[in-house]
Structure 1
Amino acid sequence: MTDDKVKRRLTTVLCADAQGYSRLMEADEAGTLETLRRYRAAIAGLVERHEGRIVNTWGDAVIAEFASVVEAVQCAVEIQQEISNRDSDPSHAHPMRFRIGINLGDVMVDGSDIYGDGVNIAARLQELAEPGGVVISGSVYDHVRNKLSLGFDCLGQRPMKNVASVTSYRVTTGGRTAGRDSFPVDESPAPQGPAVADALRIRDRHEPSTWMGFVSDWLAILPRPVRVALTVSCFLILINVFTGMHKVWFHWPVAALLFGVILRTVLGHRAASDSDGERRTSRE
């Protein structure tokens, strides 16, 4: 092995960037620089409290790394809360808000600096965050989703400049985006599968315009064989009603049809379970 071999490690990278920094500097250079210094000191204190370290600062950005994914996310939320509390001071004519991105990835180590896609993805994720918000990568989400009392909104795979797209999540606290105050948020829906998209469309209809709309929405979420069986059954019942109820006959074909659908569904689930079991056995 040679001495110049690149060292690598897996780490959690936090990237924080001040939103509208150039505009703030144009409005008040001295005041903006003083605010940035105070916020950097607060960020450094929170990073140290969560056993992280500041890797680099340039311009208005801060890069930090953490050995613990959970500590990194907790730190990010506390940073946004601390800055939000300070910005609530009426004396701040031009409040400064930060956007934060967090990624868990492999990085190259050069002295005290870190480089590579692990850092670049964190920087791109912060660009997806709204001012006062936190966006994390899918690798971070997998580690913290069951360990923190936070909410996570899936943003899907958003295109990011010069790096491969990754699934990202917006962090929320108590139904609100972490650190969010009154800033507009891009609420465009994340890419979803067909079944999820159908369910979301039905959920967003607060009140069907007619009973036919309600029935249509309800049928839309049922498996196709069940929908077909129910539709045919309704037609048989209507035929029996309009041809005269002096002789009721619809219950026999309807019962046979529903029994066939139930049997097919049970056998289908059993076959799927057996197939999954065989695949697990083959992998073992």
Structure 2
Amino acid sequence: MIAAEAIATAYREACLLELRALKPGNVHVFADGHGFTVADFEASAEVSAGPLAAPGRSVGQRVRGAVEATIARVSWNTNLGIVLLCAPLAAAAERPGELFAALEAVLDGLTVADTADVYAAIRCAAPSGLGSAAEHDVAEAPTVDLGAAMAVAAGRDRIARAYGDGFADMRKVGLPALAAARRRGLPEIWCASAVHLAFLSRFPDTHIERKHGRKQAREVHERARRLVAGLAPGPQGLEPLLAFDAALKRDGLNPGTSADFTVATLFCDVLSQCRSGK
């Protein structure tokens, strides 16, 4: 079990490290973008950490509290996806035993009350491109637990999909990419960048797909895949990554889902280190 303050610290560390990493198309210290600044995300990390790590809270309560604190501070959605991924991890970290076994128990125990709180958080954040759904729309009172509600959206949103597959993308893509980058001896910010690129080059980003369509998301994914295949890891790749970053931002394309999974991967890594006493 990990204390609430240690969970909050791990979350803040993950958010801030992700901001220091060059993540093409997203906001980072190398370049702002899409009307947001690094300061917006730093403030969001600070105010959302407490509610996200609040001891004994349900997943839904953590999500709602973190999002409402964020909107009160910066007035727009900067971290809904991050919070949706990190809240179950924070709840799992409070439990004894292996982290992913605890995460599975958290996901198995989701309730209708969790759904109501998450729906309220989504309405508060008002993410762009959300639209409406024929089934379990966030504007309506929920009738199913959060796992079932997420399952309906799993085909169009990889964050929703994570609730049903035990965070498989993070376990099979993010954490291995982080470990591989560390074996190369890369600085931590470039390890974080490697995680983002692993997600972006492995799957079409569902944030881009929601806003711009499947064809555009696949095109960005293919561009990322080709870039990564010929890219020198670490600082040597700075110039081509900056060029890719500028091109995506010029076209208004933000691979936000890949960035959200990057934060979750870094958060999970710090939590695992806390568990092992490192």
User: TM-score normalized by structure 2?
Assistant: 0.28
User: TM-score normalized by structure 1?
Assistant: 0.28
Of Structure 1 and Structure 2, the greater helix share is in: 2
Of Structure 1 and Structure 2, the greater strand share is in: 1
Q: Which has the higher contact order (CA 8 A, sep 6+)?
A: 2
